[in-house]
Structure 1
Amino acid sequence: MYQQHYMNISDMTMEEMAFVQQATNDLSDEQKQYFYMVYSGKRRSPQEILIYTLLGFVLIAGVQRFLTGQIVMGIFYVLTGGFCLIGTIVDLVNHRSLATEYNQKMAYESFQITKMNVK
């Protein structure tokens, strides 16, 4: 029933959808609904990561790293100008994998929150 909620996220990759569906297999309908609410608020779209990475060329490098919870790496990017823009270019190419990695962590965290809060 709640698979349709995952389909409403237009930028969800097949890999992310498969991971989320696997993570929610053992949840009740009420838990799936709660999981969806928590997860949809935490996830980042690849386009969002791409936009913040592009800002690294114009304003402050490393914003995408702060956005994905990589605070130390973000500080290094800010202090070194995105490792002299090379790190920013690499992140520009790999923005989808940055988003996927972050979203998998958030799916796991959302699953744990759901298990603790909804019985």
Structure 2
Amino acid sequence: MSDFSYAMLPGIEQEEMLWLQELTKGYSAENKQRFLALYQSRRKDPQMILICCLIGLVGAAGIQRFLLNQIAMGILYFVTFGFCMIGTIIDAVNHRRLAWEFNKKEALSCAALLGL
């Protein structure tokens, strides 16, 4: 399995791909494949986070926080209408960072789960 497989993930950026290659550099091809399958199922696409932020501007605020498993913040955004939309706008601007932080935690979780 080549490292090209990471490039096939939707919305992946160079920094994330390099980080994943470094994380899995000592893995066998079978372990990389298992890791990639698990990581791909848990990974959040930055564009999806942005779309949910934009939905929060016209509809139910906080959807992006629920997607990122930040339930308390999602409820707070929902009740306060996204902190009067300011929090939702900030999340829309920082959607890539939010997705990257979530994906990094999930990658480490996947590696630990697989015992690699």
TM over 0.5: yes
Question: Does 2:23 align with 1:32?
Answer: no
Deviations 1:45-67 (A, max 9, x none): 11000001111012110000010
Deviates more, 1:107-116 or 1:62-71: 107-116
Distance 2:70 2:21 in 1: 26
Could you tell me which amino acid in structure 2 is paired with residue 6 of structure 1?
Answer: Y
2:10, 2:45 within 8 Å by CA — same for their partners in 1? no
Question: Does 2:57 align with 1:57?
Answer: yes
Deviations 1:31-83 (A, max 9, x none): 10000000011101110000011110121100000101111111110110000
The residue that corresponds to 1:2 in the other structure is 2
TM-score after normalising by structure 2? 0.95
Question: Does 2:94 align with 1:111?
Answer: no
For these two proteins, the number of residue pairs brought into alignment is 116
Question: Does 2:82 align with 1:82?
Answer: yes
> Which runs of at least 4 in structure 1 moved beyond 6 Å after TM superposition?
none
SS at match of 2:114: helix
SS at match of 1:9: coil
1:2 CA drift (Å): 3.1
Identity of aligned residues (%): 46
* RMSD of Structure 2 on Structure 1 (CA): 1.1
Distance 1:37 1:10 in 2: 13
Could you tell me which amino acid in structure 2 is paired with residue 96 of structure 1?
Answer: R
Q: Which runs of 5+ in 1 are unaligned?
A: none
The residue that corresponds to 1:100 in the other structure is 100
2:42, 2:106 within 8 Å by CA — same for their partners in 1? yes
Summarize the alignment of residues 11-26 of structure 1 with structure 2, pairs less than 5 Å apart.
11-26=11-26
Could you tell me which amino acid in structure 2 is paired with residue 82 of structure 1?
Answer: G
The residue that corresponds to 1:73 in the other structure is 73
Could you tell me which amino acid in structure 2 is paired with residue 16 of structure 1?
Answer: E
With a CA cutoff of 8 Å and minimum separation of 6, indicate the structure with the bigger relative contact order: 1
1:10 CA drift (Å): 4.0
Q: Which runs of 5+ in 2 are unaligned?
A: none
